[in-house]
Structure 1
Amino acid sequence: MRLFVGLLPPQRTRDELLRALEPHRAAWSELRWLDSENWHVTLSFLGEVPERVMPELETRLARAASRYAPMTLSFTGAGAFPSARRARVFWTGLDGPRPELVRLADSLGAGAQRAGAVQADRRRFRPHLTLARSRAETDVHRLIEAFGPFAGTAWEAGAVHLVRSHLGAAVRYETIAEYPLAAAAPGGRS
């Protein structure tokens, strides 16, 4: 199974972002805009995972998630990978408690690795939501300038999701499990 662990923004957040993108999509037809139903923030990309490691993987992911409190996040700004002038990915940033997000991503990746699910992507976590892709390098600096002022409404991430990717003509994602962020927040709030 091809898997990743991620945050799934609520429908109202996806709708807000989709409305903000609408004026830009037609002007950038050379980009492949992702379906908003598939939008997610990847915390740990696992790649192909053998069925035999699933029980241990689920135990370790649940344990890792339980050590973190729910987080208030929002989408903001824009950027591109690897750069604005040679973009293959156009994204919006994720604003929130960055140190905690990075630690959560690291904990989930380490748990997956201990369970025997070798992480396919070992790059340092950079909080973002991919909005569009390009097969060829594309100069999107004007799009980044135009969408850069975007600041979305805050939302609460209360769980991480283990998601299966079904590849094909139309990519489809299937949530296999949900793990609550269950630690008490600073100040005693849970």
Structure 2
Amino acid sequence: MYLLVATDTESVMRLFIAVPLPEVVSNRIARWAEALRTDVSFRKWVHPQDYHITLQFLGDTKTERVESVLTSLRRIADEQEAVQLRLQGAGVFGPASAPRILWAGISGELEKLGLLQQRVSSVMAPLGFTVEDRPYKPHITTARKYTGGNITADLVRTGPEPVSWKADRLVLFRTKMHSNPMYERLGSMEFKR
């Protein structure tokens, strides 16, 4: 499917490219996150409709560039096979005493996912989007900005109830600040069958 949502009169949009999650995966993460809220406090819990695996953050992008981004992503999707992934484990970015991010982990064909991420970065570079210089660490952000509670090794080790799925598309998302959910799909490109 190739979808382009009519954009409003804004000249700049904050964009990123990601692999979306099927509802069954989002539901497992949401149940896990809900159970955590009694013991752990974060300023921002991600809305279940916003769970995803980021491939590349594009940042503020002029509206007229969206079509060229979508065209490049379509070329990648047309040659990409589905990636077998599994929801497994959890972790934090930052110190356990004050983490910036709580995330749900993934396993499975991570090498294949890493190659997809590299392909996305390489086709975005000629369009003027910067490639991150840190190693790619796929994860699903669940909460941001820790404010207190008890983050234990068991919490990080356990994570949501595992489930497997096939990642079968790329999505170009637009961030709509102060909305909940806050990510809007501008384009969805299915992988080859």
Q: Are residues 1:129 and 2:144 paired?
A: no
Deviation at 1:140, TM superposition (A): 6.0
Q: 2:126 aligns to what?
A: 114
8 Å Cα contact 1:39-1:131 kept in structure 2: yes
Q: Give the superposition deviation at 1:22.
A: 2.8
TM-score by length of 1: 0.84
- Residue 52 of structure 1 and its aligned partner are, at CA, apart by 2.6
C-alpha contact 2:171 2:187 (8 A) present in aligned 1: yes
Report if aligned partners of 2:16, 2:172 keep a CA contact under 8 Å in 1: yes
Quick one: distance in 2 between partners of 1:112 and 1:67?
16
**Match of 1:99, SS?**
helix
Q: 1:174 aligned to 2:187?
A: no
> Which range is displaced more, 25-34 or 154-163?
25-34
- Residue 15 (structure 2) aligns with: 3
Contact 1:60 1:115 in 2 (8 A): no
- For residues 170 and 59 of structure 1, the distance between their equivalents in structure 2, rounded to whole angstroms, comes to 28
Q: d(CA) in 1 for partners of 2:95 and 2:55?
A: 21
Give the TM-score normalised by structure 2: 0.82
Mapped to 1, the partners of 2:121 and 2:85 lie a distance apart of 21
Task: Describe the shift of the 1:130–1:65 C-alpha distance in structure 2 as closer, same or farther (beyond 3 A).
Answer: same
For residues 83 and 116 of structure 2, what CA distance do their matches in structure 1 show?
11
Q: 2:33 aligns with which of 14, 17, 21?
A: 21
Which AA in structure 2 matches 1:175? R
Partner of residue 158, structure 2: 149
Identity %: 25
Alignment of 1:175-190 (within 5 A): 175-182=185-192, 190=193
Unpaired runs of 5+ in structure 1? Answer: 183-189
**How many angstroms does 1:30 deviate by?**
4.1
Residue in 2 aligned with 1:185? none
For the 8 Å contact 1:25–1:33, the answer to whether it is kept is: no
Check if 1:159 corresponds to 2:172. Answer: no
SS of 1:175's partner is: strand
Q: Distance in 2 between matches of 1:55 and 1:79?
A: 36
Q: Deviations over 1:127-147 (max 9, x none)?
A: 1001111166x68641x4224
Decide whether aligned partners of structure 1 residues 33 and 176 sit closer, same or farther in structure 2, where only a CA change above 3 A counts. same
SS at match of 1:32: strand
Query: Could you list the runs of 5+ residues in structure 2 that have no partner in the other structure?
Result: 1-12
Compute the RMSD of aligned alpha carbons.
2.2
Which of the numbers 50, 74, 80 marks the counterpart of 2:92?
Answer: 80
Question: How far 1:155 moved relative to its partner?
Answer: 1.2
